[in-house]
A and B are shown apart, each in its own frame.
Chain A
């Protein structure tokens, strides 16, 4: 009933959710049940790659929520993604236990290497999965809340806001590169062994992570869709289009922005937490401003303010990236750069906008 209501008129979303439902059932079967030699077998590599794309897609949905519907071009969403990733990475580090290179049961390898004597206080609690899971949402949420609290209250908007979000992720990147921060410095966190007691290399774990990503994407999509179709969603559109007017009819623009921005950061954090166990590493490079801006272009390619467009864009661009960097790595940056220009100049509604127009004219 609820689903029907919020998905009414959203054909893209309906298709997306149906597809997600199909692959959550099909993919485990194709990977686990179909024998390796069979043409129908899905390799674990492809499975993990697709799982990675799904986390990207969730991140893109989070960005579309603030950019498409609220008009905030955040160039710092990769930072929330990375923060969530780090929270999960810290849990996975603790799971290594004494199986690290130095075999120290109390300290992660990099701390032994740096000659640290005891675990820093901010690592406490990450032995527990529930604590890490909480932090995955809390840390990006709190950072976004604190940042947004200042930014929105002083009415920093438009390009200025974009630039200070970029400065935020830049500052975080510099900070995480420092060994003294206690997050593994340059190398980040890696060499993970298991999650919740399951071997991370095992196919079944991989499949489970894939399914978790698909489910998270589906839930995230529905949550965003619920916001967008509510009156709050209409207020956020109103803010995007005429912020001052919205204020004069009595809405606390700052509060609306803060709520949606924080929610979006939490989504990004969850995406990051699902990403890390699948790729097996998290390092400060994830904070790089380039990443944030690249994921904005995923949304632009897919078509902003549609939500499902963000999913399409994220998967398209990342598929292209994987293919391109495989055959001719130098060309990828040309292609990506060109994509930025072409999409903004000629495809303001993205790929899905193009499809919709075709459909309308047909």
Chain B
């Protein structure tokens, strides 16, 4: 019984509710027509009813109105968007989105607005965006209002704060309100506001607090403002440190990516491959080519590039191993020279095919932008992704070497070639595969690098010495050593940079490693045991 009443009620509600959108749309349409009136007061009512109509076309309309892009056709009184074009304006009907061709400025008259209307518009736009579904829009709206709140916007913010679920936005609203309270006559309110701004990293907050700390009459408030400023300075330092750490780790992850393939070919196999940098470069160019092949799917192209770059660099690596290095086992210095020659050939090949100029690889949408921790510390997504990717590659390699049959054979061959061969391991085959693996990883590193720098024929050269340093510093033949060495060198570089400048930082790090190798020739994590003595 009760159920039935409920249904009935619901139906009634629905019936009553159904026309609502219609009427909203009607309200929107009617209000739009009012924009063509000459009276500013009429326009103001129109703007308010447009804003309150709940129509999704309202926000863009108001924004473009503010920009002065809204016109109406003189006779039909149709409100249109106008875009400057040759011979007048290219106009689009607001209601239907229909293109109406090009009209000159006498036919398409401007909807004139004055300053009073502009502020009405701004307020309406703000409160509209404040209630929008997209958090980024809401945050932007709060930021825009912040620092210049009147009673009306303040109450809009307060209202929003009650229902806001996003913590960042709530905080931003809080800051905005506190900033308003700083101006208040009431001392207690000002003190409370200072308390709320304690340690806030908003530049506006620092500015206002600074004003207070200088010019405030009340000593108590002055003191509080100074304390708050100190906390801000501390927080800023903390963020600065966080930023340095982030950049350091990011550089470190690049170094690890560049070096980890080398850790396999040089560390595990003992083959010194000076063309390693060029294998990285090949990977980067593969990314570029894949992106050229599928220009409309940038995001997908990156994902496709990873296996593609791995394959191409791995094949190149295997070719180098089979063609040259194989004949030079046991002659490391000759291997060094021959592979250096190969690196020259690869560079010149790329220069001939793609021109010596740098190519830029587009960054897919999901990797652009930044993660904002607070207003002083933002982490760009591409660097975050590269860092995560570096860890992933590292984990994968560790897994391959420790847990798969190939890894077992690789380790066997690297420890005792003759014995492994006697046990039925095809050492030649293992050599080729290991070298392919290391080279493939270099290619994958190239994909990551293409997201951070331009792709050019000299890309590899820039990393080869650094990569060797990382491997040697970490201890040859030790993947964990490579990870630790790469990350710590990256951080060291970035920590030194603000103090000594980028170039000097690099020189200092190089000099440090040179001294370090002399002190501990086997790196941070040396391989132990009698086998390593030889």
Q: Do chains A and B touch in the complex (CB under 8 A)?
A: yes
In the bound complex, residues from chain B placing their C-beta under 8 Å from that of A360 are none
A174-194 CB mask vs B (1 if < 8 Å, else 0) is 110110000000000000000
Which has the most chain B C-beta neighbours within 10 Å: A155, A168, A171, A330? Answer: A171
Contact, CB under 8 Å: A150 / B348:
no
B514 at the binding interface (Cβ < 8 Å): yes
Tell me, rounded to whole Å, the shortest Cβ–Cβ distance linking B347 to chain A.
7
Q: Across the interface, do B324 and A164 meet the contact criterion of CB distance under 8 Å? A: no
In the bound complex, do residue A168 and residue B342 qualify as a contact, i.e. CB atoms below 8 Å apart? no
Q: A345 and B503: CB pair below 8 A?
A: no
| Bound complex: CA A340 to CA B335 (Å) | 10
Within 8 A of B (CB), among A178-231: 178
- Determine whether the beta carbon of A73 is less than 8 Å from that of B345: no
Closest residue of chain B to A170 (Cβ to Cβ) is B465
Chain B residues with Cβ below 8 Å from A167 are 465, 468-469, 510, 513-514
Is A159 in contact with B272, judged by CB distance below 8 angstroms?
yes
Chain B 294-318, CB within 8 Å of chain A: the 1/0 string?
Answer: 0000000000000000000000000
Q: How far is the CA of A314 from the CA of B271 in the complex (A)?
A: 28
A73 near B518 (CB under 8 angstroms)? no
Cα separation A73 to B337 with both chains bound (whole Å): 10
Tell me the residues in window 50-90 of chain A with beta carbons closer than 8 Å to chain B beta carbons: 73
Question: Please, which residues of chain A bring their CB within 8 A of the CB of B324?
Answer: 341, 345
Q: Contacts of A155 on B, CB cut-off 8 Å? A: 521
Produce 1/0 per residue, B490-534, CB < 8 A to A: 000000000000011011001101110111010000000000000
Q: Does A302 contact B (CB under 8 A)?
A: no
A338-B345, A344-B337 known; A330+B351 contact, CB < 8 A: yes
Q: Would you give the shortest CB distance from B304 to chain A, in whole angstroms?
A: 30
Given contacts A155-B521, A159-B332, A330-B352, contact A170 B338 (CB under 8 A): no
User: Please, how many angstroms separate the alpha-carbon atoms of A300 and B340 in the complex?
Assistant: 13
B333 at the interface (CB under 8 A from A): yes
- In the complex, the answer to whether B472 meets A175 with C-beta atoms within 8 Å is no
Q: Is A348 an interface residue (CB 8 A)?
A: yes
Q: Tell me if A344 and B472 are in contact (CB < 8 A).
A: no
Q: Is B83 an interface residue (CB 8 A)?
A: no
Beta-carbon nearest neighbor of A75 in chain B: B336
CB contacts (< 8 Å) of B468 on chain A: these are 163, 166-167
Chain A residues lying within 8 Å of B519, measured Cβ to Cβ, are: 154
Is A305 on the interface with B (CB-CB < 8 A)?
no
Q: Which of A154, A177, A339 touches B341 (beta carbons < 8 Å)?
A: A339
State A171–B514 Cα separation when bound (angstroms).
Answer: 10
Closest chain-B Cβ to A81's Cβ sits at a distance in Å of 19
Q: How far is the CB of A164 from chain B (nearest CB, A)?
A: 5
Cα separation A159 to B472 with both chains bound (whole Å): 11
A289 within 8 A of B: yes
Q: Which residues of A contact B517 (CB under 8 A)?
A: 154, 156, 160, 164
- Residues A153 and B503 in contact, CB atoms below 8 Å apart: no
Q: Which of B327, B338, B521 contacts A160 (CB 8 A)?
A: B521
Q: Indicate if B99 sits at the interface (CB-CB under 8 A).
A: no
Q: What is the CA–CA distance of A89 and B145 in the complex, to the nearest angstrom?
A: 63
Q: Are B514 and A164 in contact (CB under 8 A)?
A: yes
Assess whether B398 is interfacial by the CB under 8 Å rule. no
Contact A73–B341 (Cβ < 8 Å): no
The one of B328, B335, B341, B507 in contact with A337, judged by C-beta atoms closer than 8 angstroms, is B341
From the candidates A151, A330, A344, name the one contacting B518 in the complex (CB within 8 A): A151
Write out, one digit per residue, whether chain A residues 129-173 have a CB within 8 A of any chain B CB (1) or not (0).
Answer: 000000000000000000000110111101110111011101100
Residues of A near B342 (CB, < 8 A) are: 337, 340-341
Closest approach, in angstroms, between the C-beta of A305 and any C-beta of chain B? 13
Q: Give the Cβ gap from A33 to chain B, nearest Cβ, in Å.
A: 43
SS of A interface (majority): helix
For B509, give the chain A residue with the smallest CB separation. A171
Closest residue of B by beta carbon distance from A348: B334
B14 close to chain A: CB less than 8 A:
no
Interfacial chain B residues near A296, Cβ < 8 Å: 337
Query: Does B382 lie at the interface of the complex (its beta carbon under 8 Å from any beta carbon of A)?
Result: no
Residue contact B333 to A337, C-beta cutoff 8 Å: no
Complex: chain A residue closest to B328, CB-CB: A344
- Write out the residue numbers on chain A whose beta carbons fall within 8 Å of the beta carbon of B472: 160, 163-164
B343 in contact (CB, < 8 A):
yes
| Interface membership of B392, Cβ < 8 A | no
Q: In the bound complex, do residue A170 and residue B510 qualify as a contact, i.e. CB atoms below 8 Å apart?
A: yes
Scan A99-110; emit 1 where CB is below 8 A from any B CB, else 0: 000000000000
Tell me, yes or no, whether A6 is within 8 Å of chain B by CB: no
Bound-state CA distance A334–B504 (Å) is 34
Q: Does A27 contact B (CB under 8 A)?
A: no
In whole angstroms, how far apart are the Cα atoms of A340 and B504 in the complex? 33
User: How many B residues touch the partner, as a band?
Assistant: 35 or more
What's the least CB distance linking A254 to chain B, in Å?
Answer: 12
Residue from B336, B351, B506, B507 within 8 A of A159 (CB atoms): B336
A241 to chain B, nearest CB (A): 14
CB distance from A93 to the nearest CB of B (A): 23
Would you call A171 and B507 a contact (CB within 8 A)? yes
Interface residue? A336 (CB, 8 A) = yes
Give A334's nearest chain B residue, CB to CB. B348
Query: How does the 8 Å CB contact mask read for B250-281 relative to A, with 1 for contact and 0 for none?
Result: 00000000000000000000001000000000
Q: A153-B518, A154-B518, A159-B333 are in contact. Are A345 and B343 (CB under 8 A)?
A: no
Q: A306 to chain B: closest CB distance in Å?
A: 17
B515–A150 CB distance below 8 A: yes
Asked if A40 CB lies within 8 Å of chain B CBs, one says no
Assess whether A333 is in contact with B348, with CB atoms less than 8 Å apart. yes
Q: What is the distance, in angstroms, from A95's C-beta to the closest C-beta of chain B?
A: 30
Nearest CB of B to A297, in Å: 6
Which of A158, A177, A296, A337 is the most central at the interface, judged by chain B CB atoms within 10 Å of its CB? Answer: A337
- Across the interface, B343 reaches (CB within 8 A) one of A150, A300, A337, namely A337
A259 beta carbon closer than 8 Å to chain B = no
The answer to whether A293 has its CB under 8 Å from any CB of chain B is yes
Q: Is B395 an interface residue (CB 8 A)?
A: no
Which residues from B are CB-within-8-Å of A73?
333, 336
Known interface pairs A155-B521, A163-B468, A167-B513. Does A340 touch B507 (Cβ–Cβ under 8 Å)? no
Is B204 on the interface with A (CB-CB < 8 A)? Answer: no
Complex formed: what's the CA distance from A12 to B352 in Å? 40
In angstroms, Cα B341 to Cα A175, docked, is 27
**Chain B residue contacts of A168, Cβ below 8 A:** 514
Which residues in B have their C-beta under 8 angstroms from that of A345? 324, 327-328, 338
What is the chain A residue whose CB lies nearest that of B320?
A: A341
Does the CB pair A175–B507 fall under 8 Å?
yes
CB distance from A313 to the nearest CB of B (A): 13
> CA A160 – CA B469 in complex, angstroms?
10
Name the 10 nearest CB pairs between A and B, nearest first.
A340-B341, A337-B344, A337-B345, A333-B348, A154-B518, A344-B338, A337-B341, A150-B518, A171-B510, A344-B334
Mind listing 21 A-B residue pairs with CB under 8 Å?
A: A154-B519, A155-B521, A163-B469, A166-B465, A174-B510, A177-B503, A178-B504, A293-B337, A296-B337, A300-B337, A333-B344, A334-B345, A337-B341, A337-B342, A337-B344, A338-B341, A340-B337, A340-B338, A340-B344, A344-B341, A348-B334
Residues of A participating in the B interface, judged by any CB pair closer than 8 Å: 73, 150-151, 153-156, 158-160, 162-164, 166-168, 170-171, 174-175, 177-178, 289, 293, 296-297, 300, 330, 333-334, 336-341, 343-345, 348
* Known contacts A293-B337, A340-B344; 18 further A-B pairs (Cβ under 8 A): A150-B518, A154-B518, A156-B521, A160-B472, A167-B510, A170-B465, A171-B507, A175-B507, A300-B337, A330-B348, A337-B342, A337-B345, A340-B341, A340-B342, A341-B342, A344-B334, A344-B337, A344-B338
